[in-house]
Amino acid sequence: MRILDIVRGTTVDGPGFRTSIYIAGCRHACPGCHNPQSWDFNSGTEMSIAEIMEIVVEEDFDVTLSGGDPLYHPEETAALARAVTEIGHSVWLYTGFTYEEILTSPTLSLPLPYIDTIVEGPFIRELHDPDLLFRGSSNQRIIHLKKNQ
């Protein structure tokens, strides 16, 4: 998978210290997106799940998957999220798809069994609120899929 960046020890993409993995590629093209350079599916660096997991293990933090949009790569995202959960870490996932869109798509929903919390919905500039915790606009929802989150 093409990785834009891996940020170690961040506190802005979910609770506590986290390893945030930014996956290249997004077609939502939300006006006002804070990271439009992430839309390019060919940007970043090609990394295997094993290479990414070396960093996750080294850092020993819970993980956030963001981008771009990880759900434009559902099979790879599912495999990475599964590997993270297998070593005992929780996974947050940011996506511009709504939860309802994900649930109705067998492909988009592939990672869901391995995701603890999803932050969903497109960024809407008119609903931007800098005081919101872990999201950019008030239409976006934080959905805890597992009870321990």
> Domain spans of the chain?
2-144
pLDDT in tens, the chain (149 residues): 999 999 999 999 999 999 999 999 999 988 988 888 899 999 999 999 999 999 999 999 999 999 999 999 999 999 999 999 999 999 999 999 999 999 999 999 999 999 999 999 999 999 999 999 999 999 999 999 986 55
What is the CATH architecture assignment of 2-144?
Alpha-Beta Barrel (3.20)
Q: Which residues contact 18 (CB under 8 A, 6 or more apart)?
A: 9, 10, 11, 61, 62, 63, 64, 92
Looking at the chain, the number of H-run helices and the number of E-run strands are 3, 7
- Residue located via tokens 């919390």: 117
- Residue located via tokens 């606009």: 137
pTM passes above 0.85: yes
* Phi, psi of 118, rounded to the nearest 5 degrees: -120, 135
Helices (H), 60-121: 74-86, 99-103
